[in-house]
Amino acid sequence: MSTTPRMLRVGAAQLGPIAKDEPRADVVERLRSLLAQAGTHGVELVVFPELALSTFFPRWYTEDISGHDHYYETEMPSAETQPLFDDAKRLGIGFALGYAELTPEGERFNTTVLVERDGTIVANFRKVHMPGHDDDQPWRPFQHLERRYFQESDEGFPVHRAFGGIVGMATCNDRRWPETYREMGLQGVELIMIGYNTPIHYAPDPGQNALQGFHNHLCMQAGAYQNGTWVVGVAKGGTEEGVESLAQSAIIAPSGQIVAQAVSTGDELIVADCDLDWCANYKDTLFNFATYRRPELYQRITSQKGVIEPD
């Protein structure tokens, strides 16, 4: 039984708006500044948002999707992002960075790279749940064309031994689905990193607009509690190219409590000491899956006949 708690000092590096023509190098300078600030606080892991290198370009329709190719990265690190990797290695800080990935085969993913404190790449995660639409919908004040510009990953939610524990990643809409957390919970995850770009206005049901902040924290707090894991949710927020986007980045404990939360809608670092051993307080008791979870029953319910069919 280890006596020294496995404390990991984590920083959520929230970003304010990124303009559509903001040079990649200028954005990287903002990331480097947040990373340097994290270094002054002894942070060991910095989590950046989804698509942290560019404006949220899926808000615009292009007939030829290669019209957005300049928003994608064809290598990571690239010449523009190498300075961030160099800073991180020099400071001994690991980080998660969301970006648009264009593979040599022409595949397009909404990707997050995870880099350890020694500069080695731990993993690349590709977003699984792709929201929005893939056709031109000019009736909307702005569009949400992720399904046009990104493929859904079929790689699932792997976890990784890094940063002294078991860590995993998800991206934006992934955080709204309970399966995201449970898939990693069943693998013993202790800290989940989630970047997001969430417009306040939800065109299919504007009644949800006022609840965006509530829903954001609701799903991450529930995911943390029900799987005994830390969750780090990091926004690109503020009004970006005229679209008001949710900020409210948060670091959430295995209890479901928010232990740190951003107070601005701009570039802001929030920091928390995450005791990874706290996870056992839930994994070994209330949510001891081996003792209390009933997968053989759940599958029977969803597979048996006679379940009430929806209208």
Contact 152, 129 (CB under 8 A): yes
Residue number with CB closer to ligand ING (30 or 176): 176
Tell me the catalytic residues: 50, 127, 172
User: CB 296: neighbour CB atoms within 10 A?
Assistant: 7
Is 202 a binder of ligand ING (CB under 6 A)?
yes
Least distance CB 231 / ligand ING (angstroms): 14
Q: Nearest distance from residue 159's CB to ligand ING, in Å?
A: 21
Which DSSP helix (H) or strand (E) runs through 197?
none
User: Shortest approach of ligand ING to residue 127 CB, angstroms?
Assistant: 8
Sign, Cα dihedral of 98, 273, 87, 25: positive
For residue 198, state whether it binds ligand ING (rule: CB under 6 A).
yes
- Based on the shown chain and the rule CB under 6 A, indicate whether residue 14 belongs to the binding site for ligand ING: no
CA distances from 107 to 57, 126, 134, 161, 237 (A): 17, 11, 16, 28, 27
* 71 near ligand ING (CB under 6 A): no
Q: Is 256 in the site for ligand ING (CB under 6 A)?
A: no
Alpha-carbon span 268 to 249, nearest angstrom: 9
Q: Nearer Cβ to ligand ING, position 94 or 199?
A: 199
Number of residues lying near ligand ING (CB under 6 A): 9
Q: Cα separation of 197 and 15, whole Å?
A: 10
Pair of tokens at residue 306: 């006679």
Least gap, CB of 208 to ligand ING (angstroms):
6
Based on the shown chain and the rule CB under 6 A, indicate whether residue 30 belongs to the binding site for ligand ING. Answer: no
Q: Binding to ligand ING by residue 57, rule CB under 6 A?
A: no
8 A C-beta contact, residue 79 and residue 51: no
Q: Report the candidate in 84, 175, 87 with the shortest Cα–Cα distance to residue 125.
A: 175
Least distance to ligand ING, CB of residue 216, Å = 7
The span from the CA of 95 to the CA of 44, in Å, is 8
Q: Which of residues 109-168 bind ligand ING (CB under 6 A)?
A: 131
Contacts to ligand ING by CB under 6 A: 131, 172-173, 176, 196-199, 202
